Amino acid sequence: MLGSRDFAAHFDATTEIPLVNTIFLAAIRGGSSTVDDVYTAVEISVREQLREAAQHRNKERHAKLDNMIYYFEHYPEEACQYAEYYLWWETLSKEEKDKEREPTRIGAIADHQRQQPASEKQITYLRSLGYSGAVSSKKHASDIIEAITKQGAA
C-alpha cells in the first residue's frame, strides 16, 4: 500500500473523518489522478464548501471545514500521503476493499462491545461454566467464555 492515513488522526472519527474521506474521494472520482491534482481539488472544494457554510450560517459544518483547512495548511505532507492512499484505494476491486476493511470492522465491533454491559445470556452462560468473577462488558464476557471453552477443549 502506498501513502498513509496519518492525516486522519487530526480529525474526530465520528463527525469529521466521513467528511474528509468524502472530499478526497470526490476529488479522485471527479478525475484527479495524481497527488498534486487531488491536493489541489480537495483544497478548492473545502474552501468553496467553507464559503457556502458561512453564507448559510452553518456553524457546525463551517467549524469542521475550517479545521480541515487548518490541518491541510499545517500538515501538507500528511495530506499528500492521504491523497496517495486514496489514489491507491480507488485501484482496488470491491473484494480487495472488503479485505482491507475487515480488521477495522472487527476492531470497531470489539470497541463497541467494550462499551456495552454483558448480556444476561452471557452472564448465565458464564455461571454455568463455573465462572464467578466480575464481568465488565460484552467483550470481557466473550473473552472469558472463549478462554474457558478453549481450555475445556484442550
pLDDT digits (tens, 9 = 90+) for 30-51: 999 999 999 999 999 999 999 9
Q: What is the mean pLDDT of residues 86-114?
A: 88
Contacts of 29 (CB under 8 A, 6+ apart): 90
* Separation CA 121–CA 128 (nearest Å): 11
- Percent of the chain residues past pLDDT 90, beyond the cut: 74
Its pTM stands at 0.66
What is the predicted pLDDT for the residue at 2? 56
Question: What CA dihedral angle connects 11, 16, 19 and 21, to 10 degrees?
Answer: 40
What is the predicted pLDDT for the residue at 118? 93
The structural domains of the chain, with segments of one domain joined by +, span 6-91, 113-153
Contacts of 84 (CB under 8 A, 6+ apart): 2, 3, 4, 35
* Separation CA 62–CA 19 (nearest Å): 12
Residue 154 has pLDDT above 80, yes or no: no
Average pLDDT of the residues of the chain? 91
Q: How many CA atoms lie within 13 A of 82 on its CB side?
A: 25
Residue 137 burial (CB < 10 Å; 0-12/13-18/19+)? middle
Contacts of 127 (CB under 8 A, 6+ apart): none
Residue 113 has pLDDT above 80, yes or no: yes
92 phi, psi to nearest 5 deg:
-80, 150
Nearest to 128 by CA among 109, 149, 108: 149
